[in-house]
Amino acid sequence: MKRLFGIFLNGIVVENPLFVIMIGLCSSMAVTTTVANGIGMGVALTFVLVMSEVIISAFRKFIPDSIRMPVFLVVIAAFTTIMDLAMKAYFPALSKSMGVFIPLVVVNCIVMGRVEAFASKQPVLDSLFDGLGMGLGYTWVLVVLAVVRELLGNGTLLGRQILPASFEPMIFFILPPGGFLVFSLWMAVSNSFRRKLLTRSKPEPTTATCCALPDSSTVEKA
């Protein structure tokens, strides 16, 4: 149980896909102009990630090594399309505001990266927790990015006016340069926290045994 929790935590802070592994950044910059979009994208990616990891982990013995990439892609694309259709049917407003980024989950590096690096080698339960951890790690980063960008760039949160009307929105934060700035500042905060966490729990057994990729610097930056 502790091992599974370690895997789960791994994705949230220790090996956060955005702040530490630094993959899948393009969509994170594009959708975080509003908090609602950030949450929607996070949930969408978590769904695709968890489902793809579980399925691929369950069938990992039946996927020949030489065609693993096309098979992964088929599985990921199927789940992305399912989610895209479900969103169009039941959350049309969200689907409209995220536009092309939902179908683009197919080529999101996080999904492909975790499936290749983790799920294709680990048992189902571990993969499930890895997917949840990574998905949640992605989601919280999107939300904190979006909170700052929407609040300062538009004066609202979740579409509701928060700052007084006299506040002139700083459109800079909604635009890509503002996104990069907010992202880098948050990354600095998160990584200083992560360093403290890792030095304090140096003899932590979970981090050493749980992860397929104990040293994040070896991960290929996709």
Partner 1 sequence: MKGFKMLKLGLILSAYCLVGCVALAAVYNSTSKVIAQRQADDLRAALQEVFPTADSFVPTDKVKSPSEQIVFEQAFTANAGGKSQGIAVKVKGPSYGGPTTLLVGISANGTVTGVKVLENNDTPGLGANAASSTYYVNKTTKTTFAGQFAGKKLTDAFEVKNDVLAITSATITSRSITGLVQAVGKAAGEALGIGQSTTVRPVELVPGADEAHMAAAQAVSANPSVTVLETWAVTREGTVIGAVAKVEGRGFEGKITGYVGLSQDGTITGVVLVSSGDTPGLGDQVLKSSFTDQFVGMKASDPITVGNGVTAITGATYSSTGAAALVKSAADALEKALAGGGL
Binding site for partner 1 (CB under 8 A): 33-34, 62-64, 66-67, 70-71, 74-75, 77-78, 81-82, 85-86, 88-90, 92, 96, 99, 153-154, 161, 169, 171, 174-175
| Cβ-based neighbour number of residue 21 at 10 Å | 24
CB of 67 to partner 1, least distance (A): 5
User: Which residue, 9 or 54, is less far from partner 1 as judged by CB?
Assistant: 54
User: Which residue, 70 or 205, is less far from partner 1 as judged by CB?
Assistant: 70
CB of 86 to partner 1, least distance (A): 6
User: Which residue, 64 or 164, is less far from partner 1 as judged by CB?
Assistant: 64
User: Which residue, 1 or 165, is less far from partner 1 as judged by CB?
Assistant: 165
Question: Which tokens in the block code for residue 207?
Answer: 């981090």
Q: Report how far residue 120's alpha carbon sits from residue 118's, in angstroms, rounded to the nearest whole number.
A: 6
Nearest to 163 by CA among 171, 152, 155, 153: 155
Contact 210, 6 (CB under 8 A): yes
Phi and psi torsions of 161, nearest 5°: -70, 120
User: Which residue, 64 or 203, is less far from partner 1 as judged by CB?
Assistant: 64
CB of 70 to partner 1, least distance (A): 6
CB of 6 to partner 1, least distance (A): 31
User: Which residue, 20 or 142, is less far from partner 1 as judged by CB?
Assistant: 142
CB of 99 to partner 1, least distance (A): 7
CB of 25 to partner 1, least distance (A): 18
